[in-house]
Structure formats: C-alpha cells, structure tokens
C-alpha cells in the first residue's frame, strides 16, 4: 500500500474576502527539500515539497517575525496581491519494473494558466454568526498528517481519477481518500480542504494544527465552529492536478495497486538525489 496522507501547509496573508469565492492559479515557485514549518532551518528537509506563492519563502520563517506578505516582492500566484506561501508533498511514479522514481509534474487546472503549481481557493461561506476573521500576520496551519492516515481524510483530503467525464465537486462520491487504483488518463486531482475555525489567539501551535479546527466534521460548508475554536476564518482549499496520463501501463494498476507515492510515508524511499537547497529560489525539474 502506498502512503498518501498529504501534508499541506499554508502561510497566509490577510487576503481573503468572506463574500466571494476566489479561485486562482499559482505556478511553481520551487520544488525543494524545504519545510520551514515542520522542519525549520533543516537543509535538506526530510522530504520534497512543491511550493507556490511569495518569493520570500525561506528555510526558516518564524511566525509573526517572518511574514511572507510583508517580505515578498512578487508571487507566482495570479493575484499579484497574494504573497502567501502554500505547499504540499510532491508525487512520484515509482517504477514497478525497476524501482526508480520519476517526479510527476502538475498541470494547469481547467480554465487557468499556470506552470506547475496548484490552484488555490478561498471559499465564500459566511460564518454562522455572520463574522469572518482575516488571517493575522504570520498565521500558518497544516492539513493532513504523515503519521496518521485517518487524520483528515475525506471529506477534507481526497483524490479524483480524471479523464472519464467526472464532475468537479470536491471530495464527493467520485473521490477516494487513497490515490486511485486505476489508470487516470486525465490525471489525478488532489483536493485539500483546510480547517475553517481558529482558537482566535495562536498564529501556530506545536503540531501546527491544534490552533485550528474543522467545522461540520470537515469538508466544505458554512462554518459551525466548536467552542474551543470559535473564530471563523476563510476556508482555504487547494487543488493539485497531477499529470499521471503518461503512466498508462494497465499492469501497474488494479486490485489495490497503483504506481504513485507521495514524497513521504510508510513506504517512503528517498526520491532521486536533489540539488541542495539553494537561495535565491531556483526552479528545477
């Protein structure tokens, strides 16, 4: 079985409007073994991430002190005002024949122009009490947990096998928690929905998630926040379009198997050697 809980991170700016849905493409900023949230300063970090957003992304980004929106001068996101950083694990094809790894690139989402990267949404749900609080400078959070598969799977993290005329609603009956076990000619869409409730105090927490909580048991919807996390924050969602179309050998799929692994997990084997983390940010494939 392959491991496929995503660890996804957002370092967010005070950007979102509660009234309108924002959907925008962000090209790749870099793909690096860097994780300023979970392994600050570690070079290289334990696994690769694909990272988008503001150009101040760095190995160490201390809450409140290092705030991308105030330190970046440009962004890979289509909204030039959004200097947040967002990242997820990378996806690899692990050859069933010879065990070698190939990084699976991302492609642009429907109707968007972007080079790699992912699509970011700020969902428009109004808070139950009509109040929505913008992210404070330095705010960050994580969704998913590489050590706990059950953590926030569907309805908050899911995968869709594209290319068979499926619809688009995120994490519905067509989506699976695990990576699809059949060939997906149109790629695999990973959806990651972040918590929408905050404790109102902490910009971060030791596990990077206990300062936030899901409402309504996860997924999308009008925030119905628990009393421990009473403050409604904008609901962030990512879509990552993994370009799996060329991995078409049907022998690689079926009966619970498929050839993809995220860049970490219980079946994790380090991916091919990567250049050391390099500043300023460099793109490489």
Ligand X SMILES: *[C@@H]1O[C@H](CO)[C@@H](O)[C@H](O)[C@H]1NC(C)=O
Task: State the Cα–Cα distance between residues 213 and 196, nearest whole angstrom.
Answer: 7
Q: Smallest distance, Å, CB 42 to ligand X?
A: 13
Q: Smallest distance, Å, CB 100 to ligand X?
A: 5
Q: Smallest distance, Å, CB 56 to ligand X?
A: 5
Per-residue contact flags (x/-) with ligand X for residues 40 to 79, judged by CB under 6 A: ----------------x-x-x-------------------
Q: Is 77 within 8 Å of 52 (Cβ atoms)?
A: yes
Q: Is 229 within 8 Å of 199 (Cβ atoms)?
A: yes
Residues 85-124 that bind ligand X (CB under 6 A): 95, 97-98, 100
Residue 234 dihedral angles phi and psi, to the nearest 5°: -60, 140
Cα separations (Å) of 88 from 18, 32, 181, 187?
Answer: 24, 11, 21, 17
Query: Of residues 81, 278, 279, 283, which one binds ligand X by CB under 6 A?
Result: 279
Between 29 and 237, name the residue whose CB sits nearer to ligand X: 29
Q: Smallest distance, Å, CB 280 to ligand X?
A: 6
Per-residue contact flags (x/-) with ligand X for residues 211 to 250, judged by CB under 6 A: ----------------------------------------
| Of the candidates 143, 240, 263, the residue with the CA atom closest to the CA atom of residue 188 | 240
First-residue to last-residue Cα distance in the chain: 27
Residue nearest to ligand X (CB): 95
Task: State the Cα–Cα distance between residues 187 and 116, nearest whole angstrom.
Answer: 13
Where on the chain is the footprint of ligand X (CB under 6 A)?
Answer: 56, 58, 60, 95, 97-98, 100, 279
């Amino acid at each position: 079985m392959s491991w496929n809980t995503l660890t996804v991170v957002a370092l967010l700016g005070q950007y979102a409007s509660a009234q309108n849905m924002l959907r925008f493409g962000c090209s790749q900023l870099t793909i690096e073994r860097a994780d300023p949230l979970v392994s600050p300063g570690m070079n290289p970090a334990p696994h690769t991430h694909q990272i988008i957003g503001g150009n101040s992304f760095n190995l160490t980004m201390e809450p409140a002190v290092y705030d991308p929106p105030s330190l970046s001068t440009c962004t890979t996101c289509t909204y030039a005002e959004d200097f947040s950083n967002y990242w997820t694990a990378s996806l690899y094809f692990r050859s069933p024949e010879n065990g070698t790894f190939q990084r699976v690139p991302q492609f642009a989402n429907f109707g968007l122009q972007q080079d790699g990267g992912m699509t970011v949404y700020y969902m428009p749900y109004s808070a139950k009490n009509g109040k929505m609080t913008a992210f404070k400078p330095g705010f960050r959070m994580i969704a998913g947990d590489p050590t706990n598969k059950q953590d926030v799977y569907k309805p908050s993290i899911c995968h869709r096998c594209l290319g068979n005329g499926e619809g688009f609603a995120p994490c519905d009956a067509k989506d699976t928690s695990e990576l699809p076990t059949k060939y997906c000619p149109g790629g695999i869409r990973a959806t990651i929905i972040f918590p929408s409730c905050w404790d109102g105090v902490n910009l971060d927490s030791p596990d990077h998630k206990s300062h936030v909580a899901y409402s309504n048991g996860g997924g999308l919807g009008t925030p119905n926040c628990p009393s421990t996390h009473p403050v409604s924050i904008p609901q962030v969602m990512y879509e990552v379009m993994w370009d799996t179309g060329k991995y078409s050998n049907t022998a690689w799929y079926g009966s619970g198997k498929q050839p993809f692994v995220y860049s970490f997990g219980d079946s994790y084997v380090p991916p091919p050697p990567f250049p050391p983390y390099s500043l300023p940010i460099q793109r490489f494939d």
